[in-house]
Amino acid sequence: MPYLIKRGMFSTLQKDKFRNWATPFFFYNLNLLEDTLESINKEIEGFPYKVHYAIKANTNSAILKKIKEYQLGIDCVSGNEVKHAIKEGFEPKNIAFAGVGKTDEEIIYGIENEIFTFNVESIAELKVINEIAERLNKKAPIAIRFNPNVNAKTHKYITTGLEENKFGLNYWELDTLFQLLEGLKFIEIKGIHFHIGSQITDLSVYQSLCNRVNELQKIFLDRGYTLDHINVGGGLGVDYNQPDENPIPNFTEFFAIFKNFIELQEGQSLHFELGRAIVAQCGSLISKVLYVKEGIKTNFLIIDAGMTELIRPALYQSYHKIENITSESTQKVKYDVVGPICESSDCFGKEVELPLSERGDLIAIRTTGAYGEVMSSSYNLRDKAKAYYNEDI
Ligand code: LLP
């Protein structure tokens, strides 16, 4: 457990280095990533479970290298993600490919490379995959994604398992599906897939998911389909409020729900697709204070990172802990912490209590390892922020 020995705060050595690097940049602690992966593997040891890392959360090579060392598979949502995972050394047989809008080229690529499964999201897609597989004279491995109509109780933009969402098949399509499957000779039904949303903190929703999975598995069995696997997706949330107190999500509690409630058949495996829970806490966005500007109620702390590096607060009104990591002042002041982008939504936090801050201080925006760098843009013709690792120090 290398990270836990020196938990939390940035070391003096790290801060000295930070001063020499052009800001803003992402800083990743790979020791924490290792501890997180170790904790997952400890929980699944001895169970027929396979965790696929949802590569959309962070695609950096150094991060993928660690994830590969711990033998995780990969979950992708685009052909380029599949290509990237293969390029980074992941075996196609461990790659699941979901997404509501797969193109013909992406499907061809997946079939030719013999990936683990296509997680199919509609009847229309199923027909197209069958046609393409026929042309290639190969069988395409399929898991049907179902929309279990379970409320993940998270932000509406990252809720995916309700009937109103665009993902997966709905239960009323089951009859059509079974009729169709009879004639689709180039499809091999391997499993069923679910993913109900992201940043899930009320774990009871996973118990509801397990109930729906068991019901659906029974329907498949009654129709004569034995499934090689069940894939319950990802979504486990992290503690954005207290990253140092809870740097590793409670995997014991998470996996216990599945151990207790999923009824696996003989020889069947259970797959997970975790993104945020694996990489969020190991990353911070490090930025510099450019100006302190007088405001009406609170002063603005204008920093050199913006929504171009981290769009989550602007897009999902999400909270990220903000720290001044270099001020030595004991005086506490409230600031609106904002970026330089020409949008009012370019704001990381309102009335954030920080030590008295001044131009040149370093600001850490925590828990940005997932959906930070990957969602960055060049809006306002901004440069891409670099990534550094604890191993660079
Ligand atoms: N599996 C599928 C099919 C997914 O669509 C996703 C995420 C995952 C797994 C991984 O979910 P996770 O374990 O990371 O929650 N940009 C948003 C999150 C979007 C998640 C999209 N799908 C954010 O910054 O909160």
CATH number of the domain that residue 166 is part of: 3.20.20.10
Which residues have any ligand 1 atom within 6 Å of their CB? Answer: 54, 57, 75, 77, 98, 158, 195, 198-199, 233-236, 273-277, 312, 316, 370-371
Ligand 1 probe mutation, 36, 53, 56, most atoms within 8 A of CB: 56
Report if residue 254 sits inside a domain: yes
Residue pLDDT, tens place only, 315-373: 999 999 999 999 999 999 999 999 999 999 999 999 999 999 999 999 999 999 999 99
CA nearest ligand 1 atom 22, residue: 198
Instruction: Write down the pLDDT at residue 150.
Output: 87
Report if residue 55 sits inside a domain: yes
Residue pLDDT, tens place only, 107-128: 999 999 999 999 999 999 999 9
Fill in the amino acid letter for 288.
K
Q: Counting atoms of ligand 1 from 1, which one is nearest the CA of 145?
A: 3
Q: Specify the pTM.
A: 0.96
Are both 218 and 321 inside the same structural domain? no
Last residue within a domain, chosen from 212, 247, 279:
279
Structure tokens at 22: 């052009």
**Mean pLDDT of all residues in the chain?**
95
- 111 Cα–ligand 1 center, Å: 24
Residue 224, pLDDT above cutoff 60: yes
Give the span between the Cα atoms of 74 and 82, in whole angstroms.
8
Enclosing domain of residue 154: 30-279
CA atoms within 13 A on the CB side of 211: 7
Give the span between the Cα atoms of 74 and 51, in whole angstroms.
8
Fill in the amino acid letter for 297.
K
- 218 Cα–ligand 1 center, Å: 27
- 379 Cα–ligand 1 center, Å: 23
Structure tokens at 115: 């990936």
Q: Measured between alpha carbons, how far is residue 175 from residues 170, 178, 188, 191 in Å?
A: 11, 5, 18, 17
Are both 220 and 322 inside the same structural domain? no
